[in-house]
Structure 1
Amino acid sequence: MAHRRVLTACIVSVATALAGAAVAVASPPDEIVSVASPPTPFSQNKQNEPAVAIDAHDPSVVAAGANDEIDDESCAAGDPTTCPFTDGVGVSGVYFSFTGGSGWTQPTYTGLTGRDCLGPAACTAHPGPIGTLPGYAAKGLVSDGDPAVAFGPRPASDGTFSWVNGSRLYYANLTSNVSADKESATFKGFEAIAVSRTDDPHAAAAGDATAWKDPVIISKQSSTTFSDKEQVWADNAESSRFFGNVYVCWASFRSNSRGNALPTPLIVARSTDGGGTWTTKQVGPATDNGINGQPDGCTVRTDSHGNVYVFGIGRRAGTDLQLMYRSTDGGAHWAGPTVVARVTEPGVTDPVLGRPTMDGIAGARVDLAAGPSVDIANGAPSGAGATNQIVMTWADGASGLDHESLLWTTSTTAGASWTAPAALELPTGDRPVYTAPALSPDGTDLYVVDNAFTTPYRHDTASSRGLVGQVWHANIVAGVPSGWSSLDRSAVGDPRGTSQNGLTAEFLGDYVYAAATRDGVVGVWNDASHAADCPAIDSYRASLYTASPKPPPDVLAACPATFGNSDIRGGSWADPTP
């Protein structure tokens, strides 16, 4: 044990030293992923919360998801001072690349839409073109975003899994009922978790809705259940005992029936037949209060042996912690939680929003509850060369406002022990808000994507603000990331040009994403470089912090055409040190 402590201390010391100077290298430019979403009007031009997955069996095939309001009504429909979501219209956008993460396609299907509701008449959802997941309206459902995507092997007719059968894409998201009538509702409760699947991404990308199987609701619902913040993963290493299993984790918000304790258990569902049927398991207790809280938001991954790891952020004795649960029997039973690291939510609580913000008043919310960002070097697709090293990254506010850190920690002991958190040194002035790691399957390379604010906290809405996306690379040497370099730094945008639909604040969602192969990485992030600041909105938002708030403006009449135009941006980058 003493020898292990000395070795760990040496690793942490080396890691801290090497986490410093980052070297810029030449690289291909980033690009827009949400290619079919329009630059105007708001809110059809609004995308956020991207996710991405690479087909381990055929890395040229990449899929992404995002919250995409391409099919919602324009602010000019009905009351021009409001920009609501259109009832019944989905927001789970889907995008494909067949060149390894460069060059993207956004398909068009048919479903309930409001994209032709450009005013002045009020909008009612009706059949028409959609740029989001198909098949939901036909089931009485709405695709409600919080996208999560993963590729796994396709099952054969006898139920066995092999890459020879081809690949299957899983897309998990929130879903609600089209009908507000309880008697006509498809499921009980407010939000459920649903999974869509396709075995033919080329047909799906070409707009063939029949390439998608019908969405399957996997959460157990009651009349008071709000399922939220799900993530999906397919066991994609042939060496695994449970190769082909699919796992989805989420937080299940239940009725406030115990005084001040809101039951919020972490749930994990697994499928052993390619996503057709699912069994659910509650992981850990359910009670949530101001002192102790269960993980809200999660990440799920598998190693080359089929061990399953679920990570979430919970509270113990008033302290926020990154927690890990582990299953060695394919998700049937779980042990934990194991404490990974302490985390401090960045930002300060906005008095109007009642939620933390980092860039300034009326800024974009930041949310620990989005869950930890984790990856495992599991050797996919075969399992060969797997180190099973685990890396976690996060934005941490322990050093105070305007001094946030991008921290990482790693485990080479299946999560039994973790290195002390170390900082990736960002360019001067960068303040990380969302991060995502991706390990090459053979564990030789670590990539990290981050969104960062480039300006200090603003106490007004008149001063400009900056938001950037960046892609980092490090070699893994003896289990330690070393030689950090920047593969890409996107154009800086002003996040004041992004917006909640209610107009009271900016909006960027809750996360960014990355996925790696043995040869490189695909990263996606939130981008505001094409979003125009609107002084009328700035003035309205500032007034909400006074005793005399103003009414919201007529958005399309008072603002530049590209106000609200947030995009999903990303690309692919080769390993710079092969």
Structure 2
Amino acid sequence: NGSRLYYANLTSSFAGTFLGFEAIGVSRTDDVAGAAASVKAAWSPPVLISRQSATTFSDKEQVWVDNAATSSFFGNVYVCWADFRSDSHGRAFPTPLKIAVSSDGGDTWTVHQVTPASDNGINTQPDGCTVRTDSHGVVYVFGVANRNGQTFEAMKRSFDGGKTWSGTLQLIAPVTNAGVFDPVLGRPVMDGVAGARNDLFDAPSVDIANGAPTGGDATNEIVLTYNDASLGLNHERALLQLSTNRGVTWSAPAAVQSAGDRPLYSAVAISPNGTDVYLVYNAFTAPYQTDTANPRPLVGVVKHADVSSGGALANWSELNRGASGDARGSSQNNLVGEFLGDYVYAAATRTYGAAVWNDARNGADCPAIDAWRLSLRIGTSVPRPAPGTDCPATFGNSDIFGGSYADPTP
């Protein structure tokens, strides 16, 4: 019955009509060409699927459609997100994982709370979620969560099209977040003082070889990547795990970054027929820096591996290593630190892979900003710069770069 493209995003309204911080909105289009040409009428008005209050912040959403015709739930749409319910900023910060399901093309949605709300720093609920489906219609949602003070990659599944979800959160592997706590940002950074936040450094990216669109050649192998700092600062790794039995068991974590790279965010994709894997990551290529005086090189890397008949990966190669840029040339809106977002992304077909990453090559460092940012950490008095007059014109000009890459071993 044709194709439909869905778009999920954080959304807010004008003052006086919106009670919460931000909500989750989902739009869709049956006219992809028109949407790509910026025809506004090609898109439906967004449907607000999250339930908001004055203290609710819906965040870190992802949308996925069951796109394998062999599935009994073919066409179902799933959106997952973290439902931050309090602005107290204390130890009691309830944040359940929510999943919304639509079975009528995005017209109506049913929202499920699939974890408890408790979040006390010792036990937290999955954040940075990823949702996928296999060729049988099993739904998988992944996130990073704490249990008894230890952080884990975690998973839940649904076998009935998202109506019910497995009870106990399956803990796949322990993971350690990276970086040094920045007291001004209130968040960890890994490139240096006043650096780019890396909250979701350890969040999962997942894909499944579900044989879309027919489902006929599915292997249903699951590929999972995340970043880990258990070896310590400046020794961060992009780890990858595989499952060939619906997530019941997993291969041991394997480091897949190139030598000299300190991965910041990573994402993975597997071709629908399960023969090729594509990996993208952002990485810093210099150690953590205790001042703002020197460049902080950032690169985007795309890699490829072949999948054997047994599901193992082999023949890793780099398809692209982007031009290096200085992360100091990026900025939060308030200027007090760098900003590189929270994600990279990858997708795969039977003949090529595609990827997007954060890129700093077109941004210029601003020494006045460097000095001011450092002063906020060490207590010296430096006037707040005016970027329009005190900085190069391209300060803050970070970008999203992307590319498509033919299968190197067809």
Class of the TM-score when normalised by the shorter of the 2 chains: over 0.9
| 1:387 has 2:223 as partner | no
Bigger RCO of structures 1 and 2 (CA < 8 A, at least 6 apart): 1
Give the aligned residue type for 1:309. Y
Which residues of structure 2 form unaligned runs of 5+? none
Distance 1:401 1:258, change over 3 A: closer
Asked if 1 retains the 8 angstrom alpha-carbon contact of 2:152 and 2:175, the reply is yes
| 1:233 has 2:69 as partner | no
Distance 1:272 1:370, change over 3 A: farther
By how many angstroms is 1:445 displaced?
A: 0.7
Give the alignment partner of residue 371 of structure 1, picking from 183, 190, 203: 203
Give the alignment partner of residue 148 of structure 2, picking from 314, 317, 335: 317
Give the aligned residue type for 1:534. C
Asked if 2 retains the 8 angstrom alpha-carbon contact of 1:297 and 1:369, the reply is no
Equivalent position SS for 1:545: helix
Number of equivalent positions: 408
| 1:568 has 2:400 as partner | yes
Asked if 1 retains the 8 angstrom alpha-carbon contact of 2:62 and 2:130, the reply is yes
Asked if 2 retains the 8 angstrom alpha-carbon contact of 1:295 and 1:369, the reply is no
Larger CA Rg, structure 1 vs 2: 1
Equivalent position SS for 2:46: strand
By how many angstroms is 1:424 displaced?
A: 1.1
Deviations along 1:386-445, one digit per CA (max 9) or x if unpaired, are: 011111111110010111111111111101111111111413x21000000000001111
Give the aligned residue type for 2:150. T
Superposed counterparts of 1:37-436, under 5 Å: 165-179=1-15, 181=16, 185=17, 187-255=18-86, 260-335=91-166, 336-368=168-200, 371-427=203-259, 429-436=260-267
Asked if 2 retains the 8 angstrom alpha-carbon contact of 1:370 and 1:510, the reply is no
Deviations along 1:364-394, one digit per CA (max 9) or x if unpaired, are: 0101388311111100011011011111111
Query: Which residue pairs with 1:512 in the alignment?
Result: 344
Deviations along 1:25-63, one digit per CA (max 9) or x if unpaired, are: xxxxxxxxxxxxxxxxxxxxxxxxxxxxxxxxxxxxxxx
Instruction: Return the TM-score normalized by structure 1.
Output: 0.69
Cα distance in structure 2, aligned partners of 1:410 and 1:270: 26
Distance 1:337 1:526, change over 3 A: same
Cα distance in structure 2, aligned partners of 1:481 and 1:239: 26
By how many angstroms is 1:258 displaced?
A: 12
Give the alignment partner of residue 555 of structure 1, picking from 387, 397, 401: 387
Deviations along 1:153-174, one digit per CA (max 9) or x if unpaired, are: xxxxxxxxxxxx2211111011
Give the alignment partner of residue 444 of structure 1, picking from 250, 271, 275: 275
Distance 1:250 1:546, change over 3 A: same
Cα distance in structure 2, aligned partners of 1:223 and 1:496: 35
Equivalent position SS for 2:100: strand
By how many angstroms is 1:257 displaced?
A: 8.2
Give the aligned residue type for 1:476. V
Give the aligned residue type for 1:524. V
By how many angstroms is 1:226 displaced?
A: 1.0
| 1:454 has 2:268 as partner | no
Query: Which residue pairs with 1:159 in the alignment?
Result: none
Instruction: Return the TM-score normalized by structure 2.
Output: 0.97
Name whichever of 450-459 and 215-224 sits farther off.
215-224
| 1:532 has 2:364 as partner | yes
Cα distance in structure 2, aligned partners of 1:481 and 1:229: 29
Equivalent position SS for 2:314: strand
Asked if 1 retains the 8 angstrom alpha-carbon contact of 2:175 and 2:202, the reply is no
Asked if 2 retains the 8 angstrom alpha-carbon contact of 1:229 and 1:370, the reply is no
Which residues of structure 1 form unaligned runs of 5+? 1-164
Say what the alpha-carbon RMSD is for the aligned residues: 1.4
Cα distance in structure 1, aligned partners of 2:52 and 2:185: 29
